[in-house]
Amino acid sequence: MPYKARTAAFTFLAIGALSLTACGGDDAGASDDAANGYNLVSEGTLTVCSDIPYVPFEYEENGEYTGFDMDLVKEIATGLDLELAVQDAGFEGIASGTVLAAGQCDLEASAITITPEREEAMGFADPYYDSLQSLLVPVDSDIKSIEDLEGKKLGVQGNTTGESYARENAAGAEIVAFPSDAELFPAIQSGNVDAVLQDLPVNIGHTEDGEFTIAEEYETDESYGFAMKKDNTELISAVNEQLAELRDNGKYQEIYDKYFTE
């Protein structure tokens, strides 16, 4: 279900793989031609790296990977007449482009914010999701805004735009970085940090038990994108075409509503 806690992997090396078959077309020759043109890691398969779980974008349910990102890449693979294989990888390697450079995958789908620094290392398809940052606090906290964090411990996930925003805007706070939400959320639950600053959809998931609340949301003009090798222009163009088609035929909106419309 959407908006549950994230328990992400820590290392950028794959710790597991789960193959998902996308229903391809009948023309095997077209699939072969596409695979050759896209310089795929494995012929006939779109191999995707993702830091799992990160609800509601990517997580495992009933033995299958699902979530907003996963549903989109399933549709993209289907449109390209390719099978889909998902590699679970740590976010540090994803955000830096290390897993792409190592030939571990063709595409990264992991709620990756497009930034100028990341664009130097990777090529991005057109943005597919606009994100907000947010401040999570206990319901009885006296922290009502980012201005109230002076002298407080603020938890963030390392190597993220949330960490960057916190370091730039949370004056006087002690910033404590964690590898993933798997450590970040327990830290606020145990009182080791006073607040958590990270992506809004993830923090929303932590409010479901009524013990925590969103104190503030922050407009940061962040957009998520699927990342690929910069020189794989054929694949980037093909993914853009598939994203446009999903918007035109209503499938994108259907997937969006599944995870973000209450």
Give domain status of residue 83, yes or no. Answer: yes
Q: How many residues does the chain have?
A: 262
Q: Is residue 113 very low, low, confident or very high in pLDDT (cuts 50, 70, 90)?
A: very high
d(CA 112, CA 89): 13
Which pTM was predicted?
Answer: 0.75
Give domain status of residue 2, yes or no. Answer: no
Residues 170 and 244 in one domain: no
d(CA 20, CA 247): 23
Give domain status of residue 3, yes or no. Answer: no
pLDDT of 19 strictly over 90: no
Section 128-154 average pLDDT: 96
Instruction: Find all residues with CB under 8 Å of 145, minimum gap 6, and list them.
Output: 135, 215, 216
Residues 211 and 233 in one domain: no
Query: To the nearest whole percent, how much of the chain has pLDDT over 90?
Result: 75
pLDDT of 44 strictly over 80: yes
Q: Is residue 145 very low, low, confident or very high in pLDDT (cuts 50, 70, 90)?
A: very high
Give domain status of residue 6, yes or no. Answer: no
DSSP annotation of 128: -
Residues 56 and 181 in one domain: no
Give domain status of residue 4, yes or no. Answer: no
Least confident of 14-28, 55-69, 226-240: 14-28
Residues 77 and 48 in one domain: yes
Residues 120 and 171 in one domain: no
Helix (H, G, I), strand (E, B) or coil at 179: coil
Section 78-86 average pLDDT: 97
Most confident segment among 2-16, 185-199, 200-214? 185-199
pLDDT of residue 262: 55
Residues 110 and 180 in one domain: no
Domain with 81 in it: 16-128+225-260
Residues 218 and 235 in one domain: no
Give domain status of residue 199, yes or no. Answer: yes
Q: Across-strand partners of 222?
A: 131
42: exposed, middle or buried (Cβ count in 10 Å: 0-12, 13-18, 19+): middle
Residues 118 and 243 in one domain: yes
Residues 67 and 98 in one domain: yes
Indicate the average pLDDT of the chain. 87
Domains: count for the chain: 2
pLDDT of 85 strictly over 60: yes
CA 61 to chain centre: 17
pLDDT of residue 190: 97
Residues 30 and 81 in one domain: yes
Q: What is the CATH number of the domain that holds 41?
A: 3.40.190.10
Give domain status of residue 206, yes or no. Answer: yes
Residues 212 and 232 in one domain: no
pLDDT of residue 159: 86
pLDDT of residue 174: 98
pLDDT of 16 strictly over 80: no
Residues 90 and 186 in one domain: no
